[in-house]
Structure 1
Amino acid sequence: MLVLALVTLVLHGALAGLFYTFSMSVMPGLNDIDTGQAEAAMRSINRKILNPWLFVVFLGSPLAALAAGILADNPAALWFFAAAAVNAVGSFLVTMAINVPMNNALLAGTMSWKDYAPRWTRWNTVRAVACVASLALAGVGVAGL
């Protein structure tokens, strides 16, 4: 159980760091270059980020927290369930409903960088905050084991 709980913590930390990095450095950096270059760079990033390592972290975080909650037989279970729920809504749902459609629009050329970057970054920051919150919730769960 402890190993699963620690894996849960690491996965949440990795996802929080990924989203944080985009909001705090990648997007501001892209905003400082020519719009066409920024769009091309983001299209490349969006293609390259779709790899097995992303899916392990992105899908693994809420699933590991859910599994830890099921296996924990004490009050820690509630913290893991809360981590799974916050992650599922704040990361998975936001990604699928907002960020991915925007990525697709940028790729298709139907959304300009001027419209894309501020909105995408705002919602990415929501994902970062949700993942930091779910990381903290998982951390409390680990401490309660």
Structure 2
Amino acid sequence: MMVLALLTLLLHGALTGLFYAFSMSVMPGLNAIDPAQAEAAMRSINRKILNPWLYIAFMGSPLAALAAGIVGGSMWFYAAAAVNAVGSFLVTVAINVPMNNALDAGTMSYQEYAPRWTRWNTIRTVACAAGLVLAGVGLTTL
């Protein structure tokens, strides 16, 4: 159980850090350059980020938390899984990915994309951080 709880904490921390880095440095950095360059860079980032390391953290966070809740019987891990599933997974699938696709297809300008995408990414960051805290509390109750 301890290994599963620590894995949950690690995955939530990795995902929180990824989303945080985008909101506090990547997007402001892109916003400081020419919009056409920023758009090209974001398209490249969106393509390159789709790799096994992302999927491990993105899919693994809520699944590990759910598994830790089942194995350990702790509501804290169930709560971490729920917050992550709604605030990270659902927001990503319903909002951020469609925006990425629209940017890639040229149906959304970078000027439209950046503020909205960053706002929703910050929501993902907060949700993942909340999941991290919940998993941390769950770990202390083992």
Q: TM-score range by the shorter chain?
A: over 0.9
Query: In structure 2, how many angstroms separate the alpha carbons of the residues matched to 1:53 and 1:116?
Result: 25
CA distance in 1, matches of 2:35, 2:9: 37
Q: What amino acid sits opposite 1:139 in the alignment?
A: G
Instruction: State the TM-score, normalizing by the size of structure 2.
Output: 0.99
- Take 2:134 and 2:3, find their aligned partners in 1: how far apart are those partners? 17
* Corresponding residue number in structure 2 for 1:38: 38
Find runs of 4+ consecutive structure 1 residues off by over 6 angstroms.
Answer: none
Shift of 1:12: 0.1
Aligned pair partner of 2:91 in 89, 94, 100: 94
CA distance in 2, matches of 1:57, 1:101: 20
SS of 1:95's equivalent? helix
Tell me the residue number matched to 1:143: 140
Unaligned runs of 5+ in 2: none
Q: What runs of 5+ residues in structure 1 fail to find an aligned partner?
A: none
Tell me, in whole angstroms, the C-alpha distance in 1 between the residues paired with 2:8 and 2:32: 36
Deviation at 1:81, TM superposition (A): 0.1
AA of the residue aligned to 1:114: Q
Instruction: Please give the per-residue CA displacement for 1:48-79, whole angstroms capped at 9, x wherever unaligned.
Output: 00000000000000000000000004xxx100
Under a length normalisation based on structure 1, what TM-score does the superposition of the two structures give? 0.97
**Which residue in 2 is equivalent to 1:120?**
117
Residue correspondences, number: 142
TM-aligned CA deviation for residue 94 of structure 1:
0.1
What is the aligned-residue RMSD (CA, Å)? 0.4
What residue in structure 2 maps to residue 23 of structure 1?
A: 23
Q: Provide the C-alpha distance between the structure 1 equivalents of 2:22 and 2:141, rounded to a whole number of angstroms.
A: 32
Which residue identity is paired with 1:65?
Answer: A
Question: Which residue pairs with 2:4 in the alignment?
Answer: 4
How big is the shift at 1:91? 0.1
Q: Displacement, 1:13?
A: 0.2
Identity score, percent: 78
Which residue of 2 is the match for residue 103 of structure 1? 100
Matched, 1:13 2:10: no
